[in-house]
Amino acid sequence: MQYNVNEKGYYGDFGGAYIPEMLYPNVEELRLNYKKITAEPEFQEAFNALLKDYVGRPTPLYFAKRLSKKYNTKIYLKREDLCHTGAHKVNNTIGQILLAQRLGKNRIIAETGAGQHGVATATVCALMGIQCIVYMGAVDIQRQAPNVARMKMLGAEVRPAQSGSKTLKDATNEAIRDWINNPVDTHYIIGSVVGPHPYPDMVARFQAVISAEVQNQLESLEGRTYPDHVVACVGGGSNAAGIYYHYLEEKRVNIIAVEAAGKGIDTGESAATSALGKEGIIHGSKTLLMQTPDGQITEPYSISAGLDYPGVGPMHAHLFRSGRAEFVSITDDEAMTAGLELSQLEGIIPAIETAHAFALFEQRPFGPEEVVVVNLSGRGDKDLNTYIDYFKLT
């Protein structure tokens, strides 16, 4: 079985490019060029230089001593929270802006839900001096004021999406409409391993720097390049794709994906796509998504905005269906407790998305000699108000 993408842009039954005719030229231009351009030595040099000096890579692989002791296993944390802007998302936006420049684009558009991808996109646009327009649901603009302010401060224009539920999917529709109208000068930066081929593969390749570093770091820490288990939270699936990437075909490595169960899988307020999803098409790719019996996409729910997505990328749908990865779902309460525990055992306040991955240790035992690598996808500063309300910290 092959777990990475095939020539046609599929992961098993999932993936592909299900797009309106009018979007075809844009997506086709990317598909024909992304591998060639990103393989050029000059591209690689520019990408690696920015990852090093701007993002702060390589991020440490840190042995979490007290957490390991508590759960009687060997836990390493891949510190993506130490990246510039506070999470892994910038690895992808750096890669895509360099690609956009080489395709001759002088205008960037993006969609954002909670605003994290919008901030990562606005950041690289400021870095390169390129015009940036971020579509965001009007309701999300109200809910995520600090990220809206960040984007504006970075020089981006934030355009509200006023249709539908005024949230992420409406922002995505607006971004697609914009791209159709501006096929020549504009590149659309998608923020996760979702969307039509080649986006899932392209984003996974940019994020794959995470597992490439883990291989080197484990070699010196443990004398072997692979862990026994690799763990990540999955919203769309980009931080997970990054830390799984070089281990996809390595059967000695158990892959664990952690999804958000929200208030509980059966409560109707959840984002646990593998448990609840059925095959369908969202944002141009065939994947698993939460839908009603007649195929309407269901509103997802999670306390963490970054996991609040009704689908997963096609790579993850395939990892689930093929049984290659173990899928676990974690409730809001379990995640919040794990976030507090990591703060107090290791002095690291994680993003609430990331806290879901750490709740795994209460749910599932690991052997004392087993090496478990957890992707610490982001820091918790952005979530402080949610932590404050939940734990009544003030």
Shortest distance (Å) from residue 80 CB to ligand PLP: 7
Please report which helix (H) or strand (E) contains residue 158, including its range. strand 157-161
Q: Which of 34, 317, 353, 355 binds ligand PLP (CB under 6 A)?
A: 353
8 noted as active-site residue: no
From the list 7-15, 31-39, 161-169, 235-243, the region that binds ligand PLP by CB under 6 A is 235-243
Of 84 and 107, which has the nearer Cβ to ligand PLP? 84
Q: What is the DSSP string of 11-23?
A: ETTEE-----GGG
Q: Which of 227, 235, 311, 339 binds ligand PLP (CB under 6 A)?
A: 235
Considering the candidates 74, 78, 105, 111, report the single residue annotated as catalytic.
111
Q: Which helix (DSSP H) or strand (DSSP E) does residue 163 occupy?
A: none
- Residues 19 and 27: beta-carbon distance below 8 Å: yes
Taking the complex as a whole, the smallest distance from the CB of residue 104 to ligand PLP amounts, in Å, to 28
The only residue of 23, 233, 243, 330 in contact with ligand PLP, by rule CB under 6 A: 233
302 lies in the binding site for ligand PLP (CB under 6 A): no
Tell me the closest approach of the beta carbon of residue 389 to ligand PLP, in angstroms.
19
User: In the bound complex, which residue of the shown chain has the CB atom lying closest to ligand PLP?
Assistant: 378
Cβ atoms 283, 195 nearer than 8 A: yes
Residue 132 pairs in a beta bridge with: 108
- Report cis status (omega within 30 of 0) of the bond before 58: yes
Options 26, 172, 238, 291; binder of ligand PLP; rule CB under 6 A: 238
Nearest residue to 381 via CA among 338, 339, 346: 339
Decide: is 237 part of the binding site for ligand PLP (CB under 6 A).
Answer: yes
Q: Does 171 engage in binding with ligand PLP (CB under 6 A)?
A: no
Q: Where are the beta strands (DSSP E) in 48-196?
A: 61-63, 74-78, 107-112, 131-137, 157-161, 186-189
Q: How far from each other are the two terminal CA atoms of the chain, in whole angstroms?
A: 52
Q: Does residue number 300 form part of the binding site for ligand PLP (CB under 6 A)?
A: no
With CB under 6 A as the contact rule, the residue among 74, 89, 105, 197 that binds ligand PLP is: 89
| Bridge-based pairing state of the strands 74-78 and 61-63 | antiparallel
Nearer to ligand PLP, 74 or 327 (CB): 327
111 is catalytic: yes
List 38, 73, 287, 377, residue binding ligand PLP (CB under 6 A): 377
Residues of span 98-137 touching ligand PLP by CB under 6 A: 116
Q: Is 322 a catalytic residue?
A: no
CB of 319 to ligand PLP, least distance (A): 13
Closest by alpha carbon to 157, among 131, 120, 183?
A: 131
Q: Measured between alpha carbons, how far is 250 from 257 in angstroms, rounded to an integer? A: 16
Binding range to ligand PLP, per CB under 6 A, among 10-18, 48-56, 236-244, 267-275: 236-244
Q: Measure the CA–CA gap between 365 and 135, rounded to whole angstroms.
A: 42
Q: Are the beta carbons of 289 and 280 closer than 8 angstroms?
A: yes
d(CA 229, CA 365): 12
- Cβ nearer to ligand PLP, comparing 74 with 341: 341
Tokens of 357: 């991955």
Would you tell me which residues interact with ligand PLP (CB under 6 A)? Answer: 87, 89, 116, 192, 233-240, 306-307, 351, 353-354, 377-378
Catalytically active residues are: 89, 111, 377
